Amino acid sequence: MGEQQTARKQTSKQARGKAQSARQRGRQATAKGPKSGPSKARRRPAPQVDEQGVLDFLMKITGDAAAAAGGVSVAIGDRLGLYAAMAGAGPVTAAGLAERTGLVERYLQEWLAVQAGLGYVIYDPQDQTFTLPAEHAAVLADENSPTFLAGVFPVLRSIYGTEDGLVHAFRVGGGVGWDEHSDPLYRGTARLFRPGYRENIVSSWLPALEGMVPRLKAGARVADVGCGFGYSTIIMAKAFPKSAFTGIDYHGPSIEAAEKAAADAGVAERVSFEIAGGSNFRGSGFDLVTCFDCLHDMGDPAGVAQRVRRALADDGTWMLVEPAASGRLEENFHPIGRFFLASSLAICLPSAMAQHGSLALGNHAGEEALRAAVQPAGFSRWRQVAQTPVNAVYEARP
Ligand SMILES: C[S@@+](CC[C@H](N)C(=O)[O-])C[C@H]1O[C@@H](n2cnc3c(N)ncnc32)[C@H](O)[C@@H]1O
């Protein structure tokens, strides 16, 4: 062993020793408690608190609490068609809205007050009327608008309902499975994602895959893994009538909803559904496998990648649609990123943890982590093919 190596070994040994004894000292101090009572002399000087800073932060948290509490008003407005009733109606009063909707005026007064306070509708104190601007209607009133977001609020109801399960999981591990949530999460997620899928799947994501659109036009076999309510499967099936589609999800009630949606859309004869996990679904020789916003919810993404590889034809393609969150935490500190972070903690991570698999990615693991989970299964070609403010789309090929 050379001198330098010996010196390095000794130095690191000394360092390890120092760190260990510091940790031991810390542990001992915790176990025994302080030797004597708190002494003023040994206390750290109190940090200087900027009172304005406290007030500013208090206001921020108050605003966040107001938005969180106001969420239920959006869910109610969406469910009762209040935003739709106000869209394009110009200035309305509670009485006018009650007349239009047949709902109880006193509740509508309160609801309109919340909407005005949150800035969702504009209040005119002179006339005491409330207006939903067209720009806000595009986000709250029209389910078919690509910018519709009211569908997300019922999801929050389901999240709050899992608080006890999450606290338990923090203590002992495990998680809260997708199947342990309630209908508002399933329905809400499907409604949340559908506008983006309608806007992008056929017009830009599939065309971005190498040679895929001609194959779909000619008649291809497609598996949509983790399909939930099957909206993505149905959108593709409607666009490519010569192709056959299988939607796969481990959650039975979602598959039931997907079957009904396919029948309603008139594509049931070319779309079948299977209740199965991402790593044990049936079939092989698929030209295309898709995963929309779901791989990171699965507890064994590497196992799913292996199953997808075996399910694909050798010249097949796996299209992975994931949240457009960054693997660099600090790049997610904006409204969409904040929603990703919060929903990862409350939904995605616990879903994967509940499956006790090899890897719980969370929804902001980033491209490198995804790629590392997928490529060893035999996907030598990997590239990002599209990006929206909400989704990143990857093409993985053998
Ligand atoms: C966020 S949702 C997305 C659903 C659908 N792709 C969409 O975009 O609306 C995640 C889906 O993954 C499904 N899922 C979670 N773990 C799964 C697993 N191991 N195998 C199959 N599906 C799974 C859930 O049941 C759920 O439908």
Read off the pLDDT band of 12 (50, 70, 90): very low
Mean pLDDT along residues 27-32? 30
Candidates 155, 159, 178: which one to mutate for ligand 1, based on the most atoms within 8 Å of Cβ?
178
Q: What distance in angstroms lies between residue 114's CA and the mean position of ligand 1's atoms? A: 34
Three-point CA angle 178, 182, 183, nearest 5°:
110
Candidates 159, 225, 250: which one to mutate for ligand 1, based on the most atoms within 8 Å of Cβ?
250
CB 308 within 8 A of CB 280: no
pLDDT, position 45:
81
**Is residue 237 over pLDDT 50?**
yes
Candidates 155, 185, 233, 294: which one to mutate for ligand 1, based on the most atoms within 8 Å of Cβ?
294
Read off the pLDDT band of 144 (50, 70, 90): confident
Read off the pLDDT band of 8 (50, 70, 90): very low
Q: Which atom of ligand 1 is nearest to the CA of 224?
A: 6
Residue nearest to atom 14 of ligand 1 (CA): 226
Query: For the chain, what is the radius of gyration of the CA atoms?
Result: 26
pLDDT, position 40:
54
pTM above 0.85, yes or no: yes
As given in the structure block, the two tokens for residue 298 are 């699965």
Q: Which atom of ligand 1 is nearest to the CA of 352?
A: 16
Tell me the CA distances in angstroms from 255 to 124, 158, 307, one per residue in order. Answer: 47, 19, 20
pLDDT, position 41:
57
Cβ–ligand 1 distance for 293 under 6 Å, the answer yes
Give the domain ranges of the chain.
Answer: 67-142, 197-328+353-397
Q: What distance in angstroms lies between residue 179's CA and the mean position of ligand 1's atoms? A: 10
Q: What is the dihedral of CA 256, 223, 250, 184, to 10 degrees?
A: -50
Cβ–ligand 1 distance for 178 under 6 Å, the answer yes
**Is residue 69 over pLDDT 70?**
yes
d(C-alpha 155, C-alpha 45), whole Å = 45
**Is residue 272 over pLDDT 60?**
yes
Q: Which atom of ligand 1 is nearest to the CA of 251?
A: 25
Hey, what CATH topology would domain 67-142 get?
Answer: Arc Repressor Mutant, subunit A (1.10.10)
Read off the pLDDT band of 390 (50, 70, 90): very high
CB 324 within 8 A of CB 389: yes
Q: What distance in angstroms lies between residue 131's CA and the mean position of ligand 1's atoms? A: 38
CB 309 within 8 A of CB 379: yes
Read off the pLDDT band of 19 (50, 70, 90): very low
Question: 125-143, pLDDT tens digit by residue?
Answer: 999 999 999 999 999 999 8
Question: 358-384, pLDDT tens digit by residue?
Answer: 899 999 999 999 999 999 999 999 999
Residue nearest to atom 17 of ligand 1 (CA): 298
pLDDT, position 147:
93
Question: 86-112, pLDDT tens digit by residue?
Answer: 999 999 999 999 999 999 999 999 999
Read off the pLDDT band of 44 (50, 70, 90): confident
pLDDT, position 84:
98
Q: What distance in angstroms lies between residue 250's CA and the mean position of ligand 1's atoms? A: 7
Element (H, E) at 271: strand 271-275
Q: Which atom of ligand 1 is nearest to the CA of 348?
A: 1
Type of residue numbered 239:
A
**Is residue 10 over pLDDT 90?**
no
Average pLDDT, the chain: 90
In sequence order, the β-bridge partners of residue 323 are 391
Mean pLDDT along residues 141-166? 93
- Domain 197-328+353-397: CATH superfamily is Vaccinia Virus protein VP39 (3.40.50.150)
pLDDT, position 181:
95
End-to-end, the C-alpha distance of the chain in Å comes to: 46
**Is residue 18 over pLDDT 50?**
no
